[in-house]
Structure 1
Amino acid sequence: GIVRVEEIADLFNCAEVLGMQPLPRGPNLAIITNAGGPGVMATDALIGMGGKLAKLSPQTMDYLNSILPPYWSHGNPIDILGDARADRYRAVLEACLNDENVDGILIIYTAQAVAEPVEIAKSIVELLKSKGQRGKTILTSFMGKKAVEEANFIFNANEIPTFSTPEQAVKTYLYMYQYKRNLELLYETPEELPVDLSPPKLPIMAILKNAALENREVLTEFEAKKVLEFYNFPVVKTYVAKDEDEAVAIASRIDYPVVLKILSPQIIHKTDAGGVVLDIKGEDEVREAFRTIMRNAKKYNPKAEILGVTVQPMIKRRGYEVILGSKKDIVFGPVIMFGMGGIGVELFKDFSIGLPPLNQTLARRMIEETKVYQLLKGYRGMPPANIKRLEEVMVLFSHLLIDFPQIKEIDINPLLVDEKDAIAIDARIIIDKELVFRKVEPHQHLVISPYPKKYETLWKLRDGRTVLLRPIKPEDEPLWLEMFKNCSEESIRYKLFQTLKHMPHEVRVRYCNIDYDREIAIVAELTENGKRKIIGTARVSIELDGKTGEIAFLVADPWQGLGLGTKLVDYVIEICRERGLESVYGIMLPENRKAIELMRNLGFKLKYMEDGTIRGTLNLKEEEPPTTSIEEKVKVQEKIATMEKVADKEAEAEKAASS
């Protein structure tokens, strides 16, 4: 939901449009102008920033041909010529509103002798009020300072943003489209990726501690690749040779051609130092390459500690070179960077940034935000890259950063991606020596809390089947929908206080995409015949004070009566205590007798509310055990008894009607 802008003015422009207009449905903009120059400049700005000119439908083109002079532009941008008056602006605007290919409309006016800006502005406002905007974003750029001052006032008074130049309008439109796209992607259901997120941690810590004990911040290439290998990261198999003979022996063993690289903690940019020799095809070439590398390295940095060289097979397959890296920010913690790799990283500066934890959707978004993505889709005879595998690699990379706050900086460049796999050709890791031997609280270095795996636990239902109690994940949306379908209308009404027969995607994703710092949501997952199901859930929404939470729970009908509801509620209460909450409460309908009884058994203080609901409150402070007063107990029992009588009468009436 965050949009990065370049200038202070962009902040105010975006805020203005957010307050006045619907977000753009897409990048396709129609430009209406009474002067060719501004229309062309607006188009250049649009294309340059990644937007698109809307392709007008045949029906729209036929209509415009019928109402405009024969020498209009016959395309988008729609140049309606310098003699355009209010009626022409109105007719063309209405045509664009009716065209489904158009997502947004920019109306440009430049001062002309025959055109009256105030009349044009009034005509536009009148049309939009009478016909509506059809969900399209409307922006204007009336140029002429004092000559258009009154027209701009009319637009602002009617919540139509106006800009002093077309380029500002285009830029703001595309920022708003990016914001809309971010929101859509944020709530897109990610795929579950087949990656191991529980690699061994101790061997990695041993590597980091060894470097710190040697007073090194920079891991060797061999060490860096070992770290990646423990996370099942695909890397080029790399061997260390301390001298010339050892390099020859290794090269002969792994088969030619090979690559030799300098191995020195002080030489980070190996190519700049002349420390890389590629495509070595025999023993004599190995010896010559070794000597050349040593000579170049000593010349590049006479004080560098030379540990030898690394020897690795020469990767000759065709592919795309990208970079995957991270650097710690004081405010945001580790920031992930993805973009065009190889020697052109600093030259092209084509990259996107993201924050861990990444899932499949967030990884895909980072890839799509770069220009290199167009290459990855296949270019000039090159097959498309395996984007799915690249997403998996980025998710693994994200979890490495989550698990090891001791990593200050990491670069994998190049990461070679082809149609089959992705493989790290070179890697560099810089550590924070001070953190290596210090106890660090999990995830305190992150600005976004990752999936809290520590809350996963197994529990048996009364019938002996085992369920996994775990926090909910964005990937759970399909399972959540299946649980919803297994709930009766009554169960849904008790949960949501309304009857729903269909749960739209926009609602489902809000249940599954949560901020783990501000919400606790535990699901019960049952696996039968290899198929996973969510059969119940309990959640606590933590209020702004950070001390109180509202609790709600739901068990799908086929699994009610097995003790799951009590266990789920009890478990989230236990988590609330751990989080330091002081109280939790739940709101129930009086006829929801099972929930009322459950809360009473767990020690909730029950109170009948004026709106007809029953509120159960549990004080989590041990020194103040919750109790329900006799008066409240009587009031609640009376309300329940009344509801039971009503239910019995309704049942008798239904029985009589059916007979």
Structure 2
Amino acid sequence: MTGHILQPMFNPRGVAIFGASERKGAVGTMVLANLVDAGFKGAIVPVNPKYTQVQGLPCVPDLLHLDQPVDLAVIATPSVSVPGILRQCGMAGVKSAVILSAGFGEGGEADRSDGKRLMRESLELAQQFGMRLMGPNCLGLMRPSIGLNATFSHNQAFPGKLALVSQSGALVTAVLDWAQSRGVGFSAIASTGDAADLDFGDLLDYLALDTQTTGILLYIEGIKDARHFLSGLRAAARMKPVIVLKSARHAAGSKAAATHTGALIGADDVFDAALTRAGVVRVERITQWFSAAQILASSLSLRGDQLLILTNGGGPGVMATDRAADLNVPLAKLSDGTVTALNAALPATWSHGNPMDIIGDATAERYDTALRLSLADPGVDMIIVMLTPQAMTDPTACAQAVIDVVNSQTGYKKPVLACWMGEKLVNEARDMFDAANIPQFRSPETAVEALSYLLAHRRNRQVLMQTPGPALAEKYPDVAGARMILAAARSAGRKVLTTRESKAILNAFHIPTTQTILARDADEAMLAAESLGFPVALKISAPTLTHKTDVGGVRLNVRSVQTTRQQAQEMLDRVRAQHPEAQIEGITVERMAEVGHARELLLGVTRDPVFGPVIAFGMGGIAVEVLRDRALALPPLNGLLIDRLIAQTHAARMLGPFRDEPAVDRKSLDQILMRVSELVCELPEVAGIDINPLLAGEFSVVAVDARIELTERMPIQDPYAHLAIHPYPASFQREIVLDNGQVIKVRPIRPEDAEIEQCFVRGLSEETRYFRFMRMLNELTPEMLVRFTQIDYDREMAFIALYTPEDGEAVEVGVTRYSLEPDGESAEFALVVADEWHGRGLGSHLLEMLIDYARQRGVRYLFGDVLLQNEPMRQLAARTGFSEQVLESDKDAIRISRRL
């Protein structure tokens, strides 16, 4: 695979600073000084026509006659000059730029149009020359390991393994100041600013594969492209922990919604649901963010979740225990053997459990013994060691004992965190822990919280690894019929469907509903009730009246013809009198649902302006806004995601048996949730759904009332553009017949294919593996296996070919894949076929299928690097329309490419 497009930005051979000067306090002056002070070993080129020398370095007026390699330009000049500078950089072959300048439309009305014009020109030039831009209006970029500090911050960062990406430059400076005092280092620091070009998605995509980065911190104020953001976030979180701090949790701009579902959901709730789906961890306070930074910087890993709290004070132990309970961090149970050993070594008054209180006069030797025995207990996965500076305790000696025990661990090292409480008496101990790279915290609560972030990451990976659900289940819905109903409503000038239309849409997706008849007047209502059978429900039919109960438009358990006529007439008269402006179609008559010991639930969909459709589930009925019991998830869903969605609600406790109530039909409930997920995936014109109540009982689950609202505009051509997460493309499964008549199934890869993918690679000959990976490789590393099987269907695709013998299970016999480049138009591909299947036409079938899919996804250029001696691949590429070109960077390989 070729290097990442952001490699020149994060690892430049040379840096040009436009606006470099000697003027005190100028941004260009600080950037140049920072770059020199950080010890950047590449070329440093000040660019300013006013100087011939700046800060002791030769200064050039432009880059047109440059004789040094420059990959990164840092621009600290007025905004009006930026387009010209970018043109100059493009002509000089510079592939990346950091625009520190402001003045691109972020100010008042007077300069907004000119600023936007300048930004538009800058982006067009960047695209013309294949250049990527960070900013504008940003703090800059750091890569401490190579001495790259292209910022105007007053801080220098230590090298480390933690990456920081922030929309706020001010927050970056605060983090750097904190990190310097703690000795925390960074692999990369990026301030995105206005993110006109590079945004979170691009940077996360790079950091996901960056070998220097083991953990990522994000500070987010807003998201522009949800699909791109989640795509990069999911890619990064598959490889390493990601901790997010987001501001504006209570956005004043959140508008009240007309539906029950919309009334329950705020923008921050949706953001939480998106982060959960991405497998990352969110913190709410900057202090928690710092705690997360410290734990990530230590590169700790967890193999279990059982926590032991070791302390010399009972109170702090209880505090830690309480916080662990708050955060669902389970406490370890000491084995009998460990307890016996501790009894022999500790005072008789020790706590004999967890928290392990080794008494206030604990010595360094006592800490040593207790910690060693605890680490040896197989039931203990992680430990927080705490100390309060009591009269008989030496905090420094105890800290050294803890450090010695931690460093003596061999093989896998269980995480150990320190919490030395106090100030003056424990400052030296804290410095010792920092120097030993042992995370240390000032309070029991923050120590437990820090470990909870690692645990949350471990748990969230289970969600992250879920395939984003098939677009269609085995029993296909009538999508075409549903679209005709929606089109008819839109043609009639309506955005809100009637109850009957809404239920028809649900029925098209096999969601059970109560049978409904529309009656124009009280007499028709009487006839409809007699036809359906009693008891019935009467509901006003008026699309503009959202909440029928609030206007007196619902009557339940009507049990006779006479009562039906009377109730229907009263309802019509009352609603017409109170709402003369409403267009009333009549009354819907429904047979009362009989599901057996019913629970009233809410199932809804709303459209978030950033993340698109969001599914809500919780307790329903008329008090839904008062109860406010709901959980959210982004579609598409699958079984595990549905289980987690339901488990987050109070309603989950009512679904099982309690008192004399039997359990609800959970299988039917799960199926309906899956069908609603299908509906919103396949019908992008649906803006909102309200199913309230959804009656769930022991015999069945049925949608009693439904309301569907349409989007303002017709959706664009891409059928899944409205989704933040691309669904599993089940429709691209194929059966192909090889030249010898064998039938092969080809389908998109799934995460659960990891085992057969590994077996496939192991079964390849040494030569075939070398041809595919261009290096000696016996099997896929865990990281490679994750990358190859847990793919993002929006920007990559992998088709695997499966052969199922008559007497065995399916085996993988070939795979082809592509990965979209950050330019969004070109993609790198690869293909490999099992040795024993060579010469049967399988490679041609796979490559043609990949080309067809890539073309449909808007890929314009497909390329791949092939070893010169890989003659079979070169011949296949030639037959399929690929051309060859020599690679200057690698004399042993060529690049094959094709315009699609």
Scaled to the shorter chain, the TM-score interval is 0.7 to 0.9
| Residue 796 (structure 2) aligned to one of 499, 502, 519 | 519
| Residue 608 (structure 2) aligned to one of 325, 329, 334 | 329
| Residue 460 (structure 2) aligned to one of 171, 179, 182 | 182
Partner of 1:119: 397
Superposed counterparts of 1:620-635, under 5 Å: 620-621=898-899
Partner of 1:22: 300
The one-letter code of the counterpart of 1:442 is P
1:589, CA displacement in angstroms?
A: 8.1
Listed one character per residue, the Cα deviations across residues 90-143 of structure 1 (whole Å, up to 9, x for unaligned) are 322223322222232222333322222222222111110012595533333322
Kept after mapping to 1: 8 A contact 2:597/2:662: no
Superposed counterparts of 1:273-288, under 5 Å: 273-288=551-566
2:731 maps to 1:449 = no
2:690 maps to 1:411 = yes
1:429, CA displacement in angstroms?
A: 2.1
1:475, CA displacement in angstroms?
A: 5.3
Kept after mapping to 2: 8 A contact 1:29/1:102: yes
How far apart in 2 are the matches of 1:534 and 1:240?
55
How far apart in 1 are the matches of 2:443 and 2:322?
13
The one-letter code of the counterpart of 2:718 is E
2:538 maps to 1:260 = yes
Kept after mapping to 2: 8 A contact 1:546/1:581: no
1:539, CA displacement in angstroms?
A: 0.9
How far apart in 1 are the matches of 2:781 and 2:660?
42
Residues 253 and 599 of structure 1, relative CA distance in 2, 3 Å threshold? same
How far apart in 1 are the matches of 2:470 and 2:825?
34
How far apart in 1 are the matches of 2:357 and 2:295?
25
1:402, CA displacement in angstroms?
A: 1.9
| Residue 61 (structure 1) aligned to one of 333, 339, 343 | 339
Kept after mapping to 1: 8 A contact 2:601/2:692: yes
Residues 493 and 58 of structure 1, relative CA distance in 2, 3 Å threshold? farther
The one-letter code of the counterpart of 2:342 is L
Kept after mapping to 2: 8 A contact 1:190/1:360: no
Stretch moving more, 570-579 or 144-153? 570-579
Kept after mapping to 1: 8 A contact 2:471/2:728: no
Per the normalisation by structure 1, the TM-score is 0.82
Residues 328 and 610 of structure 1, relative CA distance in 2, 3 Å threshold? closer
Kept after mapping to 2: 8 A contact 1:547/1:582: yes
Residues 31 and 293 of structure 1, relative CA distance in 2, 3 Å threshold? farther
| Residue 406 (structure 2) aligned to one of 128, 140, 143 | 128
1:519, CA displacement in angstroms?
A: 1.6
Partner of 2:740: 463
The one-letter code of the counterpart of 1:324 is L
The one-letter code of the counterpart of 1:355 is L
Listed one character per residue, the Cα deviations across residues 362-391 of structure 1 (whole Å, up to 9, x for unaligned) are 333333444544554554565555555444
Residues 312 and 6 of structure 1, relative CA distance in 2, 3 Å threshold? farther
Partner SS state of residue 53, structure 1: coil
How far apart in 2 are the matches of 1:588 and 1:390?
54
Partner of 1:353: 632
Kept after mapping to 1: 8 A contact 2:479/2:509: no
Residues 217 and 63 of structure 1, relative CA distance in 2, 3 Å threshold? farther
The one-letter code of the counterpart of 1:520 is M
How far apart in 2 are the matches of 1:347 and 1:87?
57
The one-letter code of the counterpart of 1:515 is D
1:515, CA displacement in angstroms?
A: 1.0
**Structure 1: segments with no counterpart, 5+ residues:** 623-659
Partner SS state of residue 282, structure 2: coil
Partner of 1:640: none
The one-letter code of the counterpart of 1:605 is E
2:529 maps to 1:251 = yes
Partner of 1:645: none
The one-letter code of the counterpart of 1:86 is A
Partner SS state of residue 850, structure 2: helix
| Residue 162 (structure 1) aligned to one of 430, 437, 440 | 440
Partner SS state of residue 615, structure 2: strand
Kept after mapping to 2: 8 A contact 1:415/1:426: yes
| Residue 681 (structure 2) aligned to one of 402, 405, 413 | 402
Kept after mapping to 1: 8 A contact 2:350/2:359: yes
Partner of 1:615: 893
Superposed counterparts of 1:146-545, under 5 Å: 146-187=424-465, 195-196=473-474, 198-291=476-569, 293-294=571-572, 297=575, 301=579, 303-307=581-585, 308-318=587-597, 320-343=599-622, 345-376=624-655, 378-380=657-659, 382-385=661-664, 387-418=666-697, 421-432=700-711, 434-436=712-714, 439-452=716-729, 455-456=732-733, 459-465=736-742, 467-474=744-751, 476=753, 480=757, 491=768, 494-496=771-773, 497-498=775-776, 500=778, 508=785, 510-525=787-802, 534-545=812-823
**Structure 2: segments with no counterpart, 5+ residues:** 1-278
1:485, CA displacement in angstroms?
A: 7.9
How far apart in 2 are the matches of 1:32 and 1:593?
64
2:376 maps to 1:98 = yes
The one-letter code of the counterpart of 2:404 is E
Partner SS state of residue 123, structure 1: helix
Residues 577 and 429 of structure 1, relative CA distance in 2, 3 Å threshold? closer
Partner of 1:628: none
Listed one character per residue, the Cα deviations across residues 330-381 of structure 1 (whole Å, up to 9, x for unaligned) are 2211222333444564445444332222233333333344454455455456
1:621, CA displacement in angstroms?
A: 4.1
How far apart in 2 are the matches of 1:319 and 1:121?
60
How far apart in 1 are the matches of 2:846 and 2:304?
42
Partner SS state of residue 112, structure 1: coil
Kept after mapping to 1: 8 A contact 2:309/2:384: yes
Partner SS state of residue 585, structure 1: strand
Partner of 2:20: none
How far apart in 1 are the matches of 2:441 and 2:863?
50
How far apart in 1 are the matches of 2:753 and 2:419?
45
Kept after mapping to 2: 8 A contact 1:490/1:499: no
Aligned residues: percent identity? 36
Residues 469 and 238 of structure 1, relative CA distance in 2, 3 Å threshold? same
How far apart in 2 are the matches of 1:296 and 1:139?
68
Listed one character per residue, the Cα deviations across residues 428-483 of structure 1 (whole Å, up to 9, x for unaligned) are 32222x314x6543222222222345655554321345545443334555765676
2:290 maps to 1:12 = yes
Partner of 1:580: 859
How far apart in 2 are the matches of 1:216 and 1:569?
46
Partner SS state of residue 352, structure 1: strand
Listed one character per residue, the Cα deviations across residues 490-530 of structure 1 (whole Å, up to 9, x for unaligned) are 655654555647x7987655433211233221233567779
Partner SS state of residue 523, structure 1: strand
Partner SS state of residue 209, structure 1: helix
Residues 479 and 218 of structure 1, relative CA distance in 2, 3 Å threshold? farther
Residues 60 and 593 of structure 1, relative CA distance in 2, 3 Å threshold? same
Residues 122 and 544 of structure 1, relative CA distance in 2, 3 Å threshold? farther
Kept after mapping to 1: 8 A contact 2:536/2:590: yes
The one-letter code of the counterpart of 1:253 is S
Listed one character per residue, the Cα deviations across residues 53-103 of structure 1 (whole Å, up to 9, x for unaligned) are 222222233333333333333322222232223332332222332222223
Listed one character per residue, the Cα deviations across residues 149-185 of structure 1 (whole Å, up to 9, x for unaligned) are 2222222222222233222222332232121111134
Count of residue correspondences: 617
How far apart in 2 are the matches of 1:334 and 1:355?
7
Kept after mapping to 1: 8 A contact 2:535/2:592: yes
The one-letter code of the counterpart of 1:12 is F
Tell me the C-alpha RMSD between the 2 structures: 3.7
| Residue 77 (structure 1) aligned to one of 348, 355, 361 | 355
